[in-house]
Amino acid sequence: MQSIRNIAIIAHVDHGKTTLVDKIIHASKLFRDNQEFGDLILDNNDLERERGITIVSKNVSVRYKGVKINIIDTPGHSDFGGEVERVLKLADGVCLLVDAFEGPMPQTRFVLGKAIDLGLKPIVIINKVDKENCRPDEVHEQVFDLMFNLGATEDQLDFQTLYGSSKQGWMSTDWKRKTEDITELLDVIIDNIPAAPINEGPAQMQITSLDYSSFVGRIAIGRVHRGTFKEGQQVALMKSDGTVKKMKIKELQTFEGLGRAKAEEVSSGEICAMMGIDDFEIGDTISDVEVQEALPRISIDEPTMNMLFTINNSPFFGKEGKFVTSRHLRDRLFKETEKNLALRVVTTDSEDKFLVFGRGILHLSVLIETMRREGYELQVGQPQVIFKEGENGERLEPIETLVVDVPDESAGKVIELATQGKGELLIMEPKGDLQHLEFNIPSRGLIGMRSKVLTATFGEAIMAHRFKAYEPYKGPIPGRINGSLISMNSGSVTAYAVDKLQDRGVFFIDPGEEVYAGMVVGEHNRQNDIEVNLQNAKQLTNMRASGTDTNVKIAPKIQFSLEESMEYIQKDEYLEVTPQSIRMRKIYLDPSVRKRMEQKMEMA
């Protein structure tokens, strides 16, 4: 029986997890010497590569000194916390990766807390010691204090620390001694992480993630908790509602290298993929037919934000997308809930509107971006936070911990912006040449905060936040102050019209673009919305004008990313998302209907 080590790599976003996994893959010679491969081998979908973040956790296994090491690369962003919690169930130990300058960040605390609660043995890797003004010894002390504060046991506090640079491909127990490669890390994993326990008895496994293949359908992935599963075996699937279904395993696979290999049987401690199991959910237990025992279900943090998803009914619908009907939208959203645990979809009284609940703006925007790339057209409303009612009938709202590292001269601006969003400053201390600020702030106050902070600090702020708890409502937060510029007519935008209107505000469109009546084309420099005519052309005559025509100078349009657009829109606006465009529009395109609705809202 081969010995197995199951290890999850956890860290804050951008601290170098996926790069480290790359180097482990190289060190264990999974590729032939002449084989071509890129960087960030595990971030294999376009969205992950473009944003430089891991969204879905992935498994890879390497063999070293006769031991099989299953490595699980986890997301670092708090919006994908649902992914991390499930994945830790597969592991016996964790590699905590910390940046040698930034030290433990809020997301590090969130994931490490989960790992310590599960009793996993940590190995600490202080990464990026090649960076200027890094402070490995201080960071090592901070990690120890953090673990102590999270209630780690003595065994967990007696952790092994490695220093190095994933990018340069070396790891060492002393940061002043640079080694040739990262084999010291693999040795430490084998020596410190306990081998996967072998539990004898009737077979039992919990489904912690799933895969999909167009040939065999859904594939259940999990770690065998007890006993042995064999190909062709009859098993019982135990669902959340207490029902039990009998099924047959068609095929078993284990993770080998970057892929999967077929296996006749899989014993306890090994991570495997099982084909032939239908109609399962994440958290269900697969067990022996004779001895039906369910494992405790995985609990996932509740969503804190919701958005209205609806079909695209703008004048430009169907021009770019393949999937435009409410049936397409419904099927796609419900399909997403099968594998995206922290997401919930609720139908409304209208056939073509759905409320989608998620963990934050990034969580929802990744879903929208994935859908538009698949050819869907849809519209989404303004993100809303989810309120709850307390025991005494008081209104509760989600509060988050916001951490900002910012240059000294910009700290005042950041504190002012956070205070406007009802943030409360808890900690302000120097961290190298930066100021380290920590706030408690309502989730509502974070909507639109990132772009404001980056503008105020000339892009130098490092921001991170994580959900803390539901606390009493903090009072109203002022939204966007300026009104919108709304197109009066449909048609092509002329440079002449934009030039004449530049003193009214800033534009989100360029001359030559097609717009429709009711579309939001810019931001007014006052508080009210106004309609503008963008199709005005210059009247040409054969009379010579007394003044010479000056060249039209038009300021470039403001280009919004998907998240910035989601944070920018108001309650009476939708975001229209198609495979090639993102447009903002008023919910009611007709100005007279818009006025009637405004009056109704005021009366209500």
Q: Is 319 annotated as a binding residue?
A: no
Q: Is 571 annotated as a binding residue?
A: no
Which residues, other chains included, contact 478 with Cβ-Cβ below 8 Å and sequence gap of 6+? 420
Could you please report the per-residue DSSP string of 23-39? HHHHHTT-S-TT----S
Question: How far apart, in whole angstroms, are the C-alpha atoms of residue 565 and residue 581?
Answer: 12
List phi, psi (to 5°) of 40.
Answer: 50, 60
Q: Is 431 annotated as a binding residue?
A: no
Q: Is 500 annotated as a binding residue?
A: no
Contact 503, 554 (CB under 8 A): no
- Pairing type for strands 530-532 and 484-487 reads parallel
Question: How far apart, in whole angstroms, are the C-alpha atoms of residue 255 and residue 265?
Answer: 13
| Chain-centre distance for alpha carbon 162 | 28
Q: Is 121 annotated as a binding residue?
A: no
Tokens 């495979």, located at residue: 579
Task: Tell me the residue type at 156.
Answer: Q
Which tokens is 226 given? 């007890």
Q: Is 19 annotated as a binding residue?
A: yes
Which tokens is 532 given? 């503008």
Q: Is 199 annotated as a binding residue?
A: no
Contact 177, 196 (CB under 8 A): no
Please give the span between the terminal C-alpha atoms of the chain, in angstroms, as a whole number.
Answer: 71
Contact 591, 531 (CB under 8 A): yes
Question: How far apart, in whole angstroms, are the C-alpha atoms of residue 17 and residue 117?
Answer: 22
Q: Is 130 annotated as a binding residue?
A: yes
Q: Is 541 annotated as a binding residue?
A: no
Q: Is 87 annotated as a binding residue?
A: no
Question: How far apart, in whole angstroms, are the C-alpha atoms of residue 123 and residue 145?
Answer: 15
Could you please report the per-residue DSSP string of 37-64? --SSSS--SHHHHHHT---S-EEEEEEE
Question: How far apart, in whole angstroms, are the C-alpha atoms of residue 300 and residue 291?
Answer: 27
| Residue stretches of the annotated binding site | 14-19, 127-130
| Residue stretches of the annotated binding site for GTP | 14-19, 127-130
